[in-house]
Amino acid sequence: MSKRILVTRPYNQSTNLCRLIEQQSWQAIKFPVIDIQSKTLSDKECLSLRHIDEYKYVFFVSINAVNFAYEILNHDFECLKRVTCIAVGLATYHQLAKYAIDNTLLPSAGFNSEGILDIPELQDLGGQSCLIIRGEGGREFLASTLRERGASVDYIEVYARIPVSYQRETINSILFAEPLDAVVIYSIEALYNLVQIADEVNKKNNLLIIPLVVISQRVCVIARSMGFTKILIAKEATDMAMINALNNGENCGESN
């Protein structure tokens, strides 16, 4: 019997992962728990956007940050060619390259805020201006550390993560009618909402025993605190790394 893998990514972002799952002769069970929607910009964000080429460094925290910024800028990233862009991960880096942005710095290891902060060019930022393009909310660690190093930092929040809700019958039929071999989780927000969904049908404990594959140590820590009993960490935040984690088990990251 083929493995049944629960895919919690938004529908419009799950195509590649589902394809990779099916290439393994497994079954991809689509169950988005987060929807990604564009966000109305504040006056301050609009001002930052109009003067984006005046920043020294522009940080993109995700593919979504790149794509929504591209939409807001009317499909014109010419202004970014006059700044230095920084991508949190490989997928974000490649998405910028897709839009002909090749002046992009990438962490040599650790595709997260900590990895970004190890980039040599970011060690002394006295008098430099930085712009972080991201979704609504998120960690303040990157910005606070950049400020400690002397930079001025602004944000543009270009999208929001909206929890998806389901009817009880749908939850039971997709999550619990047949055994799941694994769940893949790409964000803390998705993890929280998945647990909330299971709790709505009083089956949180059933969910916690299903193997969980996550993209980072941060998500792993939260999942462990929630009570998940089997957690694998992909080596990086990419679809292929998730597949490798599913294939290699404990050899692909930490587990508990």
Q: What is the pLDDT of residues 184-212, one digit of tens each?
A: 999 999 999 999 999 999 999 999 999 99
- Give the chain's mean pLDDT: 91
Are 33 and 166 contacting, i.e. CB atoms less than 8 angstroms apart? no
Q: What is the pLDDT of residues 96-138, one digit of tens each?
A: 999 999 999 998 877 788 889 999 999 999 999 999 999 988 7
Q: 46 with 132, same domain?
A: yes
Q: 25 with 97, same domain?
A: no
The predicted pLDDT at position 147 comes to: 96
Cα separation of 156 and 2, whole Å? Answer: 43
The predicted pLDDT at position 44 comes to: 86
The predicted pLDDT at position 216 comes to: 87
The predicted pLDDT at position 180 comes to: 96
- Tell me the pLDDT band of 90, cut-offs 50, 70 and 90: confident
Q: 145 with 211, same domain?
A: no
Q: 20 with 51, same domain?
A: no
Are 20 and 239 contacting, i.e. CB atoms less than 8 angstroms apart? yes
Q: 106 with 177, same domain?
A: no
Final residue in a domain of this structure, among 161, 194, 229: 161
**Does residue 181 have a pLDDT over 90?**
yes
Give CA angle at 175 (173, 176), nearest 5°: 70
- Tell me the pLDDT band of 70, cut-offs 50, 70 and 90: very high
Query: What is the total count of domains within the chain?
Result: 2
Q: 103 with 169, same domain?
A: no
| Domain limits for position 144 | 37-161
Cα separation of 214 and 3, whole Å? Answer: 17
- Please state the φ and ψ torsions of residue 244, each to the nearest 5 degrees: -60, -40
Q: Could you tell me the CATH number of the domain that includes residue 61?
A: 3.40.50.10090
- pTM of structure: 0.84
Please give the average per-residue pLDDT across 156-165, as a whole number. Answer: 93
Q: 47 with 147, same domain?
A: yes
Final residue in a domain of this structure, among 124, 142, 161: 161
Q: 130 with 169, same domain?
A: no
Are 131 and 146 contacting, i.e. CB atoms less than 8 angstroms apart? no
Q: 53 with 150, same domain?
A: yes
Q: 124 with 235, same domain?
A: no
The predicted pLDDT at position 253 comes to: 44
Cα separation of 238 and 159, whole Å? Answer: 20
Q: Tokens standing for 96? A: 């910028």
Q: 76 with 147, same domain?
A: yes
The predicted pLDDT at position 252 comes to: 42
Q: What is the pLDDT of residues 130-154, one digit of tens each?
A: 999 999 887 789 999 999 999 999 9
Q: 41 with 157, same domain?
A: yes
Final residue in a domain of this structure, among 143, 161, 179: 161
